[in-house]
Each structure stands twice: as structure tokens, then as C-alpha cells.
Amino acid sequence: MTTRRRLLGLGAAVAAGSVLAPTPAAAAYTTRIDPARDYGRWQGWGASLSWWANVFGRNSTLADLFYTTRWVDYYDHVLPGLGLNVVRYNLGASMRQPAWPGGPRMVTSPNIPAFRQMQGYWVNWRSADPANTRSWNWSNDAEQRSMLRMARDRGADLFQMFSVSPIWWMCKNHNPSGAADGSDNLQSWNYDQHARYLAIVAKYARDRWGITFDSVEPFNEPSRDGHHASFRAEGCRISATAALPAQQRVIHHLRRELDTRGLSDVVIAASDEMTYTGANRTWDRMTILDTRPLIGQVNTHGYQLTDDGTARSALYRNVHASGKRLWQTEYGEQYEHGLYLAYRLALDMWRLHPTAWCYWQPVDGQVKDEESGTKLSWGLLKATYSWDRTTKGGTLGEANPYPGTDRYVTNKYFVLAQYTRHIRPGMRIIDSGSKSTVAAYDALRRRLVLVTVRGNTPQKVTFDLSRFRTVGSVVRRRVTDAAPDYRIGRQYAVAPNPPLRGKQLTVDFSANSIQTIVIDNVRP
């Protein structure tokens, strides 16, 4: 299938295998791969459903692209499937129908489009019985549930349910985008109702949808200041301070509600703060009300872009010392070349040591870059969404893509494929000796995978494999160019295998590129 694949010509596209204008090479260096330093079993790669699945949730081609490793026809391209196995399901907070005929209605932000309003199920507070059709509407959110099922059918095996906001009638102002002043918006008498809602849906999903949620997360960026009544998305501030331990109280309620419904095996994840520093601060506060023992997993988002690694390291040490697993559950940015994605993913693996890593919206539209004023795409694949406030809609692709980029696919799709298609669930993440390289070992297949990102100068890198007892041979190598000027030639392209000399492997890296090297018959 690889011979059928069309390279996406980006800008003044260069032929596959060629390089950009010559630049001085950085000094060569050697990095030692150490299998004895093991950061745990890799659980997998994923993405949130949410907005894109709210519009395109019945599209089986997208399901093939994201949840298989097959080569998939996509418009005039043939793309490598990403092989994601982690699915984050957004439990909706919005509903257009009134609580009851003539009853209260949801208050809607004047700036939120319909495609960003995720439908909920619990119509009103009159009955917590999910069989009561006057209080529950299980036909809502059909598109997101469709993609959830297609992901499962294609092999996805880790499912997490998360809440961006409590359902609208639990909010103080009935607005699931936030309070007018950005303050806490979950009514205190609904702490237990919010927990009950999560548990009821988790139970219903297991019994009726055939989906078992491994974990449930009651919050999403709950300490963020940006959740307000005119926000362009759903959101809710929920504090975790000693003076207002709202998060902690919800978590206590949630553990009880899950256990009551026979879901004691479902882990509570918290709190998905926006930054590593915020996640660390919130985790420290989970000692309040002795809440830490109830949390099985710490989630964090990856939007602290200026972090040099210290905040990541601090969070890892704090969570690891508590014996909890750690996930990076949301990352995204608008630069289509993918170089920044590779930098930050590598830094996450080097300092944060998560056991799963997730992108935010794999299908997204153009946004205006605040610095340059140009419009770029947050997605791995591109879409044009309707910003109508009452009717959700969208089409795949962009009519006027950024100069030098493709209409349908961003280059960072291929950058992410360099990692997701080769570092697979069940492998062990081991020490690579370098913040530029992610190293993973598959004990069953005796396979070593090395993925390295190179910056704005060429460089020769030697991988020292002397700490392995035996080293076989390189079985494949792939490369993706990721130049910030979008002069990109190779996209997940096969490259000649470099020779192994004993237990030394020396590889030439061109500027702004990502390489994946797979070596078989490796024994620690």
C-alpha cells in the first residue's frame, strides 16, 4: 500500500528525500538507551471525541483513520491509520428541551456554536431513575456515541468518560459555559447530583451500549479562569481549595455512587487541569478531606507551553510517589507542520512519564494566530465548522488553506503517526538518554523502537545500545519532515536503513525532521 500513497505537496514541495537549504550541522552526540530504567507499561494513544464527533461521528472513514493501523483512502490521499486505542467520551451538559413543558430552559452563551454544545441525557432533577422517560432522554448525543462504538469495534480498548461541565440545570445560572464572573458555577446542593449523573451514565453505557469505561473524570480544567457565561465552549469552574473543597466533595460522592451501582472497578480520574503547575497544585490539595485514596489516576492537560520540563518533573514525582498512574489527556496547537507537537510530546515522555498521551481534537478548523494574524489549523485533519448557534454542521477540508499546506490533512498527522504506529500498547517506555528521543521496548517481540525529533540544524546521532545483551538488525526506518516554513517533502516516508556496527547505531538527521527506527531481535 505504501507505493500507492501520494505525498502531500506542501508549498514549494520538494521531492521525497531531499533536504532544505544547507545549514551548519549541530555537533554530533551519543545517547545511551537504558532498558533498566523503565517508566512503566505503555497504555496507549488517544484523543477526545467531543466537537468533531458531534458533527462527524457517523463517518466510518475517520474511524478507520484514527482507530486502525490500516492504510486508508482519504479524498485523493492514502493515509496511514494512527492506531489510537484510548477514547475520551465527553458527557454532555447541554440540552435544548426544557426541564419539563413550560419549565426552565438552559441559558446559552451568546458565543458558543451548536457544534460545541454536547447533548446531555438527564432532562430534569425530578427523577434519578434512568428508565423514567420524562427525566431522561437516551436518544441524545447520537453522533458521539456512534463514533464511540466504531472506535470499540476497530480495537480501541481504553474508554474514559469526562465532564466539561455539569448538566445545565445543576449550574447556578443554568449556563454550562460558566458563571458571569467566572466563579464556581456548580450549585453546592448538586455536588451529589453531578456525581450521580456520571455514575448512572457509566452504568447505562456498560449495560446498554456495550462500553465499559475504565475511568470517569468529573472535571475538565476546573481551576481555569476562562469559564464564563459568554465563553465559546462549555466549561465550569469548580474549586479545590481548603475554603471551598468542591472538587473533593464531588469525588467522595462519585466514589459512593459508582460503588453503589456495582462499578467499583471504575477508576476516578482527576482533575485535568490546564497546566502541569495547576495539576500539581490541585493534586497537593487532594489531601483535603482525605481525597487522594479515592483517585486512581491523575490527568493533566499539556498547555503549559513555556515549561522547560521542571513542572512536568515535579508533577511526575508527586503523582508517582502517591502510586497513581498519570495521563496527558489533552494537547493541541495550531501549527500544522508538527515540529512543536514532536518537541512537546518528547518532553512529556522525558519529564512527565505519562502512560497514555492524547490529542485534543483530531479534526478541527482554522483559527487565527494571534502573533502573525494568519489562519492555521488545530486539527490533524482539517474541517470547516458552521458557527451557527442553533444548528450544528461542518464539512471536511478547508476551502482556503494556509499557503503551502494541504486542504484536508495537516503535516502533524504524519508526525504523530511516527509515534503512534510504532510505540504500541503493552510496550515499556525506557530511558532514552535524551529529551529528543522516545524509546520503547516490546518484550514479546523483542523489538526496540526509537523516535527522535531534530531541530533547525542537521545532526549526526549515535544510539549506544551497549546495555542490551543482544541487538539484531534495523527492520525499518521512517521519516517525516516538519519545517516551520512548510517546505516539506517526506511524510511518513520509508528511509534507507542505517547499518548497525556492533551495538552502535549512527543516524544522520536532516533539519526539522522526525525519524522512527525499529530494531528487532533485541534482548535486555
Distance of alpha carbon 170 from alpha carbon 189, whole angstroms: 9
Q: Are 484 and 334 in contact (CB under 8 A)?
A: no
Check 143, 221, 333, 398 and give the catalytic one: 221
Q: Which of 233, 246, 254 is nearest to 282 (CA)?
A: 246
Beta strands in 5-146, from DSSP E residues, in sequence order: 29-32, 34-41, 44-48, 71-74, 77-80, 86-91
Q: Give catalytic status of residue 221 as yes or no.
A: yes
Q: Which of 335, 337, 382 is nearest to 488 (CA)?
A: 337
Q: Are 57 and 49 in contact (CB under 8 A)?
A: yes
What are the residues whose beta carbons fall under 8 Å from the beta carbon of 339, sequence distance 6 or more? 415, 453, 455, 482, 483, 484, 512
Q: Are 346 and 423 in contact (CB under 8 A)?
A: no
Q: Give catalytic status of residue 273 as yes or no.
A: no
Beta strands in 455-524, from DSSP E residues, in sequence order: 459-464, 473-481, 493-494, 500-501, 504-509, 513-520
Cell numbers 432533577 correspond to what residue? 125
Check 143, 234, 330, 333 and give the catalytic one: 330
Q: Are 378 and 361 in contact (CB under 8 A)?
A: yes
- Which grid coordinates are listed for 463? 544510539
Distance of alpha carbon 126 from alpha carbon 129, whole angstroms: 9
Report, in this order, helix, strand and coil percent for the chain, each rounded to 5: 25, 25, 50
Positions marked active-site: 221, 330
